[in-house]
Amino acid sequence: MKNKFYQYIQDLQDSITTKLETIDSKAKFKQDLWKRPEGGGGRTRVIENGAVFEKGGVNISGVHGKLPKSMQVYFNVGVVDFFACGLSLVLHPKNPMVPTVHANWRYFEMYDEDGSIIDSWFGGGQDLTPYYLFEDDAKHFHQTCKTACDKHNPEFYPIYKKRCDEYFYNTHRNEGRGVGGLFFDYCKTSDDMTMENWYNFVTEIGNSFLTAYTPIVEKRKDLPYTKANRDWQEIRRGRYVEFNLVHDKGTLFGLKTNGRIESILMSLPPHVQWVYDHHPKPGSEEAKLLEVLANPKTWA
In whole numbers, what is the pLDDT of the chain averaged over residues? 95
Q: Are 53 and 21 in contact (CB under 8 A)?
A: no
- Tell me the CB-side half-sphere exposure of residue 29, using CA atoms within 13 A: 24
Q: Residues 163-192: pLDDT tens digits? A: 999 999 999 999 999 999 999 999 999 989
- Give every CB contact of residue 299 below 8 A, 6+ residues apart in sequence: 135, 138, 139, 141, 142, 143, 179, 180
Q: What values do phi and psi take at 110, rounded to 5?
A: -130, 140
DSSP state at residue 158: H
Which among 64, 92, 102, 152 is annotated as catalytic?
102
Closest to 32 (Cα-Cα) out of 60, 4, 12, 54: 60
Helix axes 135-150, 195-220, angle to 10 degrees: 160
Higher pLDDT, 15 or 266: 15
Integer Cα distance of 250 and 37 in angstroms: 20
Report the CATH superfamily, name and number, of domain 2-294: Coproporphyrinogen III oxidase, aerobic (3.40.1500.10)
pLDDT in tens, 241-294: 999 998 988 888 778 777 788 888 878 899 999 999 999 999 999 999 999 999
In the annotation, is 102 catalytic?
yes
Q: Considering the entire predicted model, what is its pTM? A: 0.95
The answer to whether 294 and 174 are in contact (CB under 8 A) is: yes
Residues 6+ apart with CB under 8 A from 45: 13, 17, 29, 30, 31, 32, 57, 58, 59
Domain boundaries, given as residue ranges, for the chain: 2-294
- Are 141 and 181 in contact, with CB atoms under 8 Å apart? yes
Res. 153: pLDDT tops 80: yes
Contact 62, 84 (CB under 8 A): yes
- Looking at residues 46-62, what average pLDDT do you find? 97
Q: Count CB atoms within 10 A of the CB of residue 189.
A: 14
